[in-house]
Structure 1
């Protein structure tokens, strides 16, 4: 066997893979533990606003977990500003959601009425029995809607939020007393806005998914949070625990729809700028680890609530005329079948974490879309769909448009 000793090559400037590409390696347990137990801790705006989404018990548990680490909390000026700007909006969104989704449940009960009428006609059910059943269904729909609305009320009143006298704001003030960073100087702020624009134009995270147009400061919000985190973290020889509910691709690295972790570019930038490391978790992850690493009490119901507060994606489902198809030419029974199928699509989307808005039938041609689908409405009837998406503030909005309805020739005139 050949003697290979003494032939090693010394790479003077060589590095290990973990030091060059830290964002592609998961943090070891010891580092995650140290981030929770010793690190500087900060929150993004959406995580803070969960305080207004939680029920009272869950809110108390979240605040208790943050109180344990109060002496290590830091909040960027930008996150605090956005928190104050959006408090009332979150309360209003919750109220509107309760009303709209309650109506949606009630409407699903009412949607069965035509089927009952058709069933009664086909199988010769007496009119008085049919009418009695329909009356009961309509009453059930009303009771269901009102009961859901009453059950969804919680202890935060809109007026107190508007006036700044709500209990959540008092808890916020106590948690972050003397722990909110200063704003950037005018010169630094101007430079930061220019850098945010450069990064957005070159798709450098974070912030390039923020809505374009409008107020320049708001477009730069994510980058301002990141910059202020870097500035503060440089003052402390500690890791950073960042509690962040972001799911957009300019913060989160995903593969085939699965969340892997924070964007590797952010992990590397933090390491190069600060000299330590940062660990990013959402509110659910923070609460889950708070039980084992901080010794706080977190119930399963609180974890379930936190999981339900993932950033909401809205879907606007539009269906109507396109490419020569006129709904006036379609029999009522076929329109009902089409609407039923589209509502079923909305239900499936909701089950996958997408909240739909079902619009009224519209006339007109469809817009160009990114993705095309074909939906089975009924035997011999299909709807062609196009889906477009855009980022609107902190939500990804999908618009689904039925741009063509395929039907049997004798049932639908005017098709091409």
Structure 2
């Protein structure tokens, strides 16, 4: 029975993955894009870890074509989002400074806020200078992308091939069947409306995860090796809350189609479980930073989404919600911020398959728009 249902075995990671003779390590798009969101010291630590894996005989690192394509398409916008986040901090600091100065004027030196303003005032210029040093200046040389050259070097010759137009058409047809029947992975992306191309072949963004999944399966078949996907986002169509790990259905499908084992881990958990085989380990500071950023990326979104619907007080397309949050937020947006917003609405809408069965806050209309339930 175990051979038919390997994904449901409780100690699958310990007995199958960690006991493999060699493991293909794949990094997803979020892992690479998040390198633009950490401070330089953290980035260098992660890059050194990747380089170390290349020299480790137990591991073979590889990048699916879909991951490489998404990374190249999104890295510029991710890079610019960081500059926008710093500008937002500058604007908020300026507003805070004005409030302190304005309130302290009332009552003059007898104001209760005057001592606070006097004490803080000595540090205002210093804080402003620190913030400005992280902003791009008009007369300064264009800010250099310090990540891209390292990524190109690490994965030189280690990127998979793209699919043909015929294979893409087959994937789209199969993807539609899987989405309609809630078969992972990728069904959370069924409302994506972006298309792009590579070498004259159309790529529909909503099938991105299924394209990736197909490329992982092809790689495991070709190399006859265990494969571990290192991810920066534990999406429900990949990660099971019930089992607190990768979805059993994915392990089953992978094993029965390739004869090989599959697992998915966050970067901190990859280090935790494979520590005995690693030649180089991430620092405690790096590990904590990754965990904290992930927690921050996945909290507070429901309040943001609700505020958008309350502001407009009418049905909204998802694109309208995305744009409003993008324009107004002071968040350091994660690479998958639009996926998180969409997931937040789906998880609280009983009209879609991803509803979690708790708070039913949104109604999906026939037009495809969403509104608050009355």
1:326 is aligned to none
Task: Report if the CA contact (8 A) 2:194-2:206 is conserved.
Answer: yes
Asked which structure has the greater RCO (Cα within 8 Å, sep 6+), the reply is 2
Paired residue for 2:290, among 306, 309, 312? Answer: 306
Work out whether 1:83 is the aligned partner of 2:94: no
Q: CA deviation at 1:107?
A: 5.0
Shift in Å, 1:113: 7.6
Counterpart Cα distance in 1 of 2:253 and 2:241: 19
Residue matched to 2:233: 246
Task: Find the aligned partners of 1:295 and 1:268 in 2 and give their Cα distance.
Answer: 31
* Maintained 8 Å contact 2:190/2:207: no
Greater fraction strand: 1
Q: Using a 3 Å threshold, how does the CA distance of structure 1 residues 149 and 237 change in structure 2: closer, same or farther?
A: same
Cα deviation, residue 299, structure 1: 1.1
Q: What's the offset of the Cα at 1:360?
A: 9.9
Moved more, 190-199 or 206-215: 206-215
CA–CA separation in structure 2 for the residues paired with 1:252 and 1:308: 19
Aligned to 1:334: none
Partner of 1:170: 149
Shift of residue 181 of structure 1?
Answer: 0.7
- Given the alignment of the two structures, is residue 279 of structure 1 paired with residue 263 of structure 2, yes or no? yes
Deviation at 1:354, TM superposition (A): 8.1
What's the offset of the Cα at 1:55? 2.3
Where 1:40 maps in the other structure, the secondary structure is strand
Alignment coverage as a number of residue pairs: 311
Structure number with greater Rg is 1
Deviation sequence 1:15-74 (CA, Å, 0-9, x none): 24x742524524343544345x71111111111222222322222221222223226111
Unaligned regions of 5+ residues in structure 1, if any? 1-14, 121-125, 315-348, 369-390, 404-416
> Which ranges in structure 2 are unaligned for 5 or more consecutive residues?
196-203, 317-335, 349-360, 362-374
- Provide, for residues 271-330 of structure 1, a one-character-per-residue CA deviation record: whole Å limited to 9, x for no partner: 11111211211122234456443120321111122223328658xxxxxxxxxxxxxxxx
Q: TM-score by structure 1 length?
A: 0.63
Note the 1:244-393 alignment, pairs <5 A. Answer: 244-255=231-242, 260-289=244-273, 291-310=275-294, 313=297, 365=313, 393=338
Task: From the two aligned structures, give the one with the greater helix fraction.
Answer: 2
**Aligned pair partner of 2:10 in 21, 25, 31:** 25
Question: Cα offset for 1:234?
Answer: 0.3
Cα deviation code 1:57-101 (max 9, x no counterpart): 222221222223226111111100001011112212222223324
The 8 Å contact of residues 207 and 222 in structure 1, kept in 2 or not, is answered as yes
**Aligned counterparts, 1:60-99, within 5 A:** 60-70=44-54, 72-99=60-87
- 1:361, 1:229 → 2: CA distance? 39
- The CA deviation at 1:201 is 1.9
Calculate the aligned-residue CA RMSD, in Å.
4.0
Return the TM-score normalized by structure 2.
Answer: 0.69
Map of 1:396 onto structure 2: 341
